[in-house]
Amino acid sequence: MVHADVSEPPSVDSMYAEVKDRLGGLDVLVNAAGLADSALWNLSVDKIELEMWKRVFAVDTYGTFLCSQGASRIMKQGSSIVNVASTPALVGDTEGLVYASAKGAVVSMTRMLAKMLAPRTRVNCMAFGSFETSWVDWLDKGQKESYKRAIHMGRFGRPKEAATLALFLASDESSFITGQVIVADGGEALR
């Protein structure tokens, strides 16, 4: 295991030097780093400060770029980059403005990188709706029920379902898919 701060270029460079030394190259990158901060989630527009934008974009957007850039230097023919975004980046929402904006940039970056890195590397994005991860702990019982009612499948997504989608997008079975944003949200964005 190699640890790095994805928001810091020297840390990312060091990580990829170690990856190249240990593995000789890279076949798959999943950009799943994100800044989860409950203090930012429910803020009204007038309470959001520029420093909050900088912190979230440093990890979610710049980190995705830095890791993709570093990986592209050592990726092999037929490699795959899978980015993580969120459905609010596609359809909007009333919560998580800073987070959704950072993930919106990841969606745009995915499409640009797919064109720039083809045909050697495919680049796709997974846009997740409400998945049962630690952010659910920020919600009170009423909010949880409200989210579940908005999901046509009647439940939160499971982390294993996210991993299965990432594995598919990284696999040879998806070798003709690039530049796409695959939504996994149980129909939540269909509101």
Alpha helices in the chain (DSSP H): 9-23, 38-41, 50-57, 63-74, 88-91, 97-117, 141-150, 159-170
Catalytic-labelled residue, pool 16, 62, 99, 147: 99
| Residue 167 to residue 176: CA distance in whole angstroms | 15
The residues with which 125 forms a beta bridge, in sequence order, are 83, 181
Which three-class secondary structure state does DSSP give residue 36? coil
Tell me if residue 147 is catalytic.
no
DSSP 105: H
| Residue 53 to residue 35: CA distance in whole angstroms | 11
Which three-class secondary structure state does DSSP give residue 183? strand
Catalytically active residues are: 99
